[in-house]
């Protein structure tokens, strides 16, 4: 396949300063990826106004998919977005060779950016974090690269160094649940140098916005695109009252996802989609389906949302 022409950096930065949707990966009755349902969910997002998609994100059960399934998800996403005004930010990770191969696969199939999952390793040095991301970024200089930062001890100076070494590192998905820490990290790295994406979704978006975030990730957007986009509009226009009205509306739903160290992060989203008849509720271990009483709670919570 011919390699795509590099997308203009301004377009990539604009795509990050938006609702960055993390699509779920639906499974069929036999436990395989339900590709038809997946593409139908993507069309629903795109038709609802979403313009930035991250296949193989955590809400997509990245770590529960096989290497072949991860490639399939990317290819189906790029096929579904072809000819539409969408930017695809592919999640990659694991060991360096695996991440590099996934990034090159994404590039060769038309993706414009990759998001690098936090290194899964018991011993991560801060300079080793730079080395890890540098190896991936340098393998795909044509693509924008976005580190996914979950380490509260990592300093913004390491992000600044990575940007010096790799000019295609254009933003960060910051997912440390500490708004003050985010504000310091962004300023130490370069507030205007990178696009800052609030990586803990709608509940953290207002607090991170005032500290420099201009976009946020979302799993909830799978269920209610208009709700997430409404939050974005309120933040962009400085309508804090409206942003917090939406925050209050979705808080019980997001609290369910966040309980027990986010044990049901994906489960609650898929349960809502199942209640709407959009896909099956099955998740893969180590996630697990909700008990019946919580299933009913999820269905009740989304009543009245603009769906």
> Could you list the pLDDT tens digit for every one of the 307 residues in the chain?
444 555 678 999 999 999 999 999 999 999 999 999 999 999 999 999 999 999 999 999 999 999 999 999 999 999 999 999 999 999 999 999 999 999 999 999 999 999 999 999 999 999 999 999 999 999 999 999 999 999 999 999 999 999 999 999 999 999 999 999 999 999 999 999 999 999 999 999 999 999 999 999 999 999 999 999 999 999 999 999 999 999 999 999 999 999 888 889 999 999 999 999 999 999 999 999 999 889 999 999 998 786 6
CB 247 within 8 A of CB 239: no
| Region at 251 (left for phi over 0; alpha for psi -120 to 50; beta for the rest) | alpha
CB 112 within 8 A of CB 144: yes
- Are the beta carbons of 13 and 170 closer than 8 angstroms? yes
94: left (phi over 0), alpha (psi -120 to 50) or beta: left
Cα gap 46→233, rounded to integer Å? 17
Residue 58 makes CB contacts below 8 A (sequence gap 6+) with 22, 91, 117, 265, 266
Query: What is the token pair recorded at 289?
Result: 């389906």
Give the C-alpha separation, 38 to 114, whole Å: 20
Distance CA 200, CA 215 (A): 11
From CA 71, how far away is CA 61, in angstroms rounded?
13
- CB 79, CB 62: distance < 8 Å: no
Question: 0.85 cut: is pTM over it?
Answer: yes
Distance of alpha carbon 213 from alpha carbon 195, whole angstroms: 7
């Amino acid at each position: 396949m011919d390699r795509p022409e590099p997308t203009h950096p301004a377009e990539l930065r604009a795509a990050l300063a938006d609702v960055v949707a993390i699509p779920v990966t639906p499974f069929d009755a036999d436990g395989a990826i339900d590709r038809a349902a997946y593409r139908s969910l993507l069309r629903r997002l795109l038709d609802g106004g979403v313009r930035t998609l991250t296949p193989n994100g955590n809400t997509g059960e990245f770590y529960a998919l096989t290497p072949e399934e991860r490639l399939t998800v990317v290819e189906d996403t790029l096929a579904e977005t072809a000819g539409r005004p969408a930017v695809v930010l592919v999640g990659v990770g694991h060991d360096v060779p695996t991440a590099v191969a996934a990034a090159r696969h994404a590039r060769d199939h038309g993706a414009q950016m990759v998001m690098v999952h936090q290194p899964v390793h018991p011993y991560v040095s801060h300079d080793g974090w730079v080395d890890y991301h540098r190896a991936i970024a340098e393998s795909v200089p044509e693509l924008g690269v976005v580190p996914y930062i979950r380490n509260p001890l990592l300093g913004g100076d390491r992000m600044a160094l990575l940007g010096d070494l790799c000019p295609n590192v254009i933003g960060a998905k910051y997912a440390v649940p500490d708004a003050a820490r985010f504000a310091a990290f962004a300023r130490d790295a370069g507030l205007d140098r990178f696009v800052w994406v609030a990586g803990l979704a709608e509940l953290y978006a207002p607090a991170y916005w005032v500290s420099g975030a201009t976009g946020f990730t979302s799993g909830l957007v799978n269920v209610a695109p208009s709700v997430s986009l409404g939050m974005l509009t309120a933040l962009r226009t400085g309508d804090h009252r409206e942003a917090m009205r939406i925050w209050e509306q979705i808080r019980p739903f997001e609290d369910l996802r966040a309980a027990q160290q986010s044990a049901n992060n994906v489960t609650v989203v898929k349960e809502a989609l199942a209640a709407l008849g959009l896909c099956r509720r099955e998740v893969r271990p180590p996630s697990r389906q909700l008990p019946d009483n919580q299933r009913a709670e999820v269905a009740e919570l989304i009543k009245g949302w603009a769906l």
